[in-house]
Structure 1
Amino acid sequence: MTTLLRRYGWPLTAVIVLLCAWWVVVMVVLPQLVMVDYSFRPNLLPREIGTEKDVWTLANYKTLWSNQIHLAIFFKTIWASCLVTFVTFVVCYPIAYYMAQVARGPKAGLFAVLLVIPYWVNEILRTFAWYILLSRGGPINEALMGLGLIAEPIDLKQGDLGVILGMVYAYILFMVFPLYTAMESLDRNQIEAARDLGASIPRIHWRVVIPHSKPGIATGCIMTFMLAAGSYAVPALLGSPGSRWFTEIIYNWFFEGGDWPQGSAYAFILLLLCLGFILLMLKLFKVRLGDIAK
């Protein structure tokens, strides 16, 4: 606040603060409060709203624990989102390190542009591209048959493989840029000193690069996990009937079942899961929320 006052003065600072407050309250806080209120109410007919039946209840939350299919999908979504986060980190770590400590200058900028260009295309179209790649008549099957690795086309979208691949690709930028930002501030002399002292490459990364990059790793993991757990388009397009995502169940409650209170309860449970994951990352990497915000 002091920096804003010093840079812009009272009038413009007040406008900026009011606009930010309006955005947070109207676009974030109020919708969440309405969702929480809905989640504790029964699904009533319009004429029953406001009557003695319209009271708060935990029945919507109990539904998840009594429905074994939905509960299994919920836990599957958790571990699959964790897997997406881990695979995305493994893929993005060397890319971010190359951009931050090896490429430098114009090469790093060119590499960043090459990463960003595919994301100028709408996410739905990019997901459809993966649908074509993974289909029985797609390029991947054609290549595998051409190499003699398979005798006939296989459906690569069976199970969660297609969903996980699609999500890793869809959210790669949300991991690579926080890692890049954290690694770029690392003094290269520390890496050179560790190498001169006889540290191997894995040990340099484990003892020097990763500890320095903890805020970036935490930020990337939080963003990737939350996007994966809350994704609807990728599972809907790339998932098979046996690989449903929890967001698809929420969608069905809202728009197919017409049960908004039940859908709100499921959505609030998913929100609590994401908040829990944030706290876990903060504790695991021993960083503060302020470090994440940077």
Structure 2
Amino acid sequence: MFKQLCNRFGTPISVGIAALLLVWLIALVILPQLLMVDYSFRPNLLPSEIGGPKDSYSLVNYVTLFNNKIHLGIFFKTIWSSVMVTALTLVVSYPLAFYLAKVATPKQAALCLLLLIIPFWINEILRTFSWYIILAYNGPLNAMLQALGLIDRPLRFLSGNGGVMVGMVYAYILFMIFPLYNALESLDANQIRAARNLGASWAKTHLRIIIPHAKPGIATGCIMTFMLAAGSYAVPALLGSPGSRWFTQIIYNWFFEGGNWNQGAAYAFLLLILCIGFIGLVMKVFKVGLGDIAK
């Protein structure tokens, strides 16, 4: 990659770009993560006790999670819910991405992409609040369903995980659509026509031709959506109920309400490890490498 940069921009500019990337990786990614790991193995002490005999490395902060059944339950519920969000986002995004890549004309595709992107010019908090209004007990969705005679009384969409799931699918749908669109756009349409001419149904054409070709895009979209969903704070905080807390809310409470950065770092590091494991699992299931995902 560095040689390609040199060929395109010249050696001095390429060295500058590489240096800026290196500084960004070290200062904003690697060092904060190392600091978080260091915090997670140390006890929460008063400033006067830091560096003293009590300031030693241990697994106490990690053991706390496994001894707290409530936090452990929220942890596994967050992971499972993030998987469900990823699956729902894939189901919603795949037909749309296929339409944009292989069915729509260039003008239609451009218009659809513009309509998808425009709402994301608004801050995520405001977009989440809009869903809070839509799904409220006396909100427009319940009013419409009652007007159509589909329900007798308003439904409490925000009393469980339903509102959080809907909000997250909407919040992260672009992170699934664009990798899928990028992968499907490179598929030769003659392969689809050949499969159809040979008698393959649309279902078999998708299963045997289109989806295998789109595997890097599916893997990339699933990884990005899962990571964002598992690490989300605003959506579950605004659209969730007390019974649908997200693990990130527990981490936030440790850091900013409990003042225990060491315990919060341990929780955050465990979530990071599990997300990295999910990335490896997705890559293995779809049989793609980092190079395929980077495309």
TM-score scaled by length of structure 1: 0.99
Query: How many angstroms apart in 2 are the aligned matches of 1:89 and 1:248?
Result: 25
- Partner residue in 2 for 1:226: 227
Whichever residue aligns with residue 159 of structure 1, its letter is: G
Q: 1:107 and 2:128 equivalent?
A: no
Whichever residue aligns with residue 6 of structure 1, its letter is: N
- Partner residue in 2 for 1:172: 173
Q: 1:151 and 2:131 equivalent?
A: no
Whichever residue aligns with residue 72 of structure 2, its letter is: L
Query: How many angstroms apart in 1 are the aligned matches of 2:268 and 2:25?
Result: 19
Query: How many angstroms apart in 1 are the aligned matches of 2:53 and 2:161?
Result: 45
In the TM superposition, what is the alpha-carbon distance from 1:154 to its structure 2 partner? 2.0
Whichever residue aligns with residue 151 of structure 1, its letter is: D
Query: How many angstroms apart in 2 are the aligned matches of 1:7 and 1:171?
Result: 34
Whichever residue aligns with residue 149 of structure 1, its letter is: L
- Partner residue in 2 for 1:140: 141
**How high is the sequence identity, in percent, across the aligned residues?**
65
In the TM superposition, what is the alpha-carbon distance from 1:153 to its structure 2 partner? 1.5
- Partner residue in 2 for 1:73: 74
Q: How is 1:10-159 mapped onto 2 (pairs within 5 angstroms)?
A: 10-159=11-160
In the TM superposition, what is the alpha-carbon distance from 1:149 to its structure 2 partner? 2.0
In the TM superposition, what is the alpha-carbon distance from 1:106 to its structure 2 partner? 1.7
The alignment partner of 2:19 has SS state of: helix
- Partner residue in 2 for 1:258: 259
Query: How many angstroms apart in 2 are the aligned matches of 1:101 and 1:39?
Result: 49
Whichever residue aligns with residue 152 of structure 1, its letter is: R
String of CA shifts for 1:207-253, please: whole Å, max 9, x gaps: 00000000000000000000000000000000001000000000000
Query: How many angstroms apart in 2 are the aligned matches of 1:9 and 1:151?
Result: 69
String of CA shifts for 1:78-121, please: whole Å, max 9, x gaps: 11000000000000000000000001312111111111011011
**Number of aligned pairs?**
294
Query: How many angstroms apart in 2 are the aligned matches of 1:160 and 1:238?
Result: 8
Query: How many angstroms apart in 2 are the aligned matches of 1:44 and 1:277?
Result: 34
CA RMSD of aligned residues (A): 0.6
Query: How many angstroms apart in 1 are the aligned matches of 2:83 and 2:175?
Result: 15
Whichever residue aligns with residue 126 of structure 2, its letter is: L
Query: How many angstroms apart in 2 are the aligned matches of 1:276 and 1:81?
Result: 14
Q: Name stretches of at least 5 consecutive residues in structure 2 with no aligned partner.
A: none
In the TM superposition, what is the alpha-carbon distance from 1:145 to its structure 2 partner? 0.9
Whichever residue aligns with residue 143 of structure 1, its letter is: M
The alignment partner of 2:56 has SS state of: coil
Query: How many angstroms apart in 2 are the aligned matches of 1:145 and 1:157?
Result: 17
Q: 1:160 and 2:176 equivalent?
A: no
- Partner residue in 2 for 1:290: 291
Whichever residue aligns with residue 5 of structure 1, its letter is: C
The alignment partner of 2:158 has SS state of: coil
The alignment partner of 1:157 has SS state of: helix
